[in-house]
Amino acid sequence: MRRPVVAGNWKMHGSRADNTRLVDALVEASDALPCDVVICPPAVYLWEVGRQVKDSRIALGAQSLCAEAQGAFTGEVSSGMLRDVGASYVIVGHSERRALYGETDALVARKFVAAQSSGLTPILCVGETLEEWEQGATEQVVARQLDAVLELAGVAAFARAIVAYEPVWAIGTGKNATPDQAQAVHAFIRARIAARDAIIGDGLRLLYGGSVKAANAAELFGQPDVDGGLVGGASLKADEFVRICVAADGGRA
């Protein structure tokens, strides 16, 4: 049985005061949640938020990392540094990084490997744009994004990773994929990994991301290959995020 995961990607939001309020409320609710919970604040807040969640079941994740271990890379943060301040997860290949910061499939694969080299669990994001969706190219795009990582890291690396399917047209738009649409792509991703290693494919936790909210979470997470969510906007509201986490047992409990 795959244990569900709900990860909150705060993106570039928050302040020390906002974070304290949000994290206090999450920590208070965390013991009762039926899933692994990860919160991913902006890098500058990782240490402080890490202290706040230290005695709870909430884990800390970063939103990105540098593919290099150290050196003259102004503005970048390495996997070892993220580990050092208490992170145990890192989002890799988010569509905003791909689209706005030119991260290629090859670079994303290197970041995935860099994350694991310090013991971080990568949350690898894949997903098609609206144009690709309309062209019916979803599987082709997702396969290309996955294969770049499979080729560099090998299938065994997916035993220590999470994959998030985030259709770009559903991110921050209020327009989520339907449960059936999400399930179809998740099944495709699982089958692609399972074709290389059946046990790793079966155990891989696959998250859906894109306009997840309390009102649609149970239906999405109830799909057989949807093992939780990667939540943006709704992860900034404690009540809403807790309700999404509660929905993560997907009727399995």
**Contacts to ligand 13P by CB under 6 A:** 9, 94, 166, 171-172, 209-212, 230-234
* Shortest CB 170 distance to ligand 13P, Å: 6
3-state secondary structure of 58: strand
Q: Which is nearer to ligand 13P, 27 or 212 (CB)?
A: 212
Q: Which is nearer to ligand 13P, 171 or 204 (CB)?
A: 171
Q: Which residue minimizes CB distance to ligand 13P?
A: 232
Q: Which of 93, 72, 67, 94 is nearest to 82 (CA)?
A: 67
* Shortest CB 37 distance to ligand 13P, Å: 15
Return d(Cα 30, Cα 238) in angstroms, integer. Answer: 11
What is the b/e burial string over 106-122, where b = at least 16 CB atoms within 10 angstroms of the residue's CB?
ebbbbbbbbbbebebbb
3-state secondary structure of 228: strand
* Shortest CB 74 distance to ligand 13P, Å: 26
DSSP codes joined into one string, 158-210? GGG-EEEE--GGGTTSS-PPPHHHHHHHHHHHHHHHHTT-HHHHHH-EEEEES
In the structure encoding, which two tokens stand for residue 5, read together?
């995961």
**Cβ contact 177:210 at 8 Å:** yes
Q: Which is nearer to ligand 13P, 9 or 52 (CB)?
A: 9
In the structure encoding, which two tokens stand for residue 65, read together?
């990392």
Q: Which is nearer to ligand 13P, 92 or 231 (CB)?
A: 231
Return d(Cα 129, Cα 247) in angstroms, integer. Answer: 27
Active-site residue set: 94, 166
* Shortest CB 40 distance to ligand 13P, Å: 8
* Shortest CB 91 distance to ligand 13P, Å: 7
3-state secondary structure of 123: strand
